[in-house]
Amino acid sequence: GKESLSVDDVKSVGMVDCRTHMVDEKFDGDLESVLKDCIANKIEKLVCVGQNTVDCKQVLELSVKYSGVIYPCVGFHPVHYTLTPKEQRQDKLNKIIDMITFNHESLVGIGEIGLDFCPWRFQNCDATQIEQEKQSQKDAFRAQLQTAKQLSLPVNVHSRMSSRYAVDILEQENM
């Protein structure tokens, strides 16, 4: 059988990994071993980020199971947002914002949120569609930033090939 992590496994504050994806299927069946290895190497606290409605729920569950080691950060990652069919995006964004609002006292932040303008994301789009997709990501980013402000939560930002836009939006939202 697998051993459970105990409070004794965490002896002092060492390093904190501020963005992990511990709900990734790569960790299925091996998570406790990975966590013990982290702790043995002085990486004693892990901020686990959500990316979509399914894994945000899993992040919250892991943070309860491994309290004191895994800390939850919930949000709609821009890549997952873009991969979501357009007609479902607003509903899924609303669900994540509701999840954030309901669980805000247990969250260490909102994330991983932001912008991803990597050209291969838009390979099947014309110029107008590219601009619409970028604007849609910006709108989802803003909505999550506004939620972070309302709840006084920090954000964990993803920015690929979009740093200038991400910083501009952060400044416009007074983050």
Dist CA 70 CA 63 (whole Å): 5
Helix (H) or strand (E) segment spanning residue 57: helix 53-65
pLDDT in tens, 18-48: 888 888 888 888 888 988 888 888 888 999 9
- pLDDT-derived band at 14 (thresholds 50, 70, 90) equals confident
**Joined tokens for residue 78:** 């821009």
pLDDT in tens, 108-150: 999 999 999 999 888 889 999 999 999 999 999 999 999 999 9
What are the C-alpha distances in Å from 127 to residues 115, 118, 134, 141?
18, 14, 11, 21
Q: Using DSSP, state whether 149 is helix, strand or coil.
A: helix
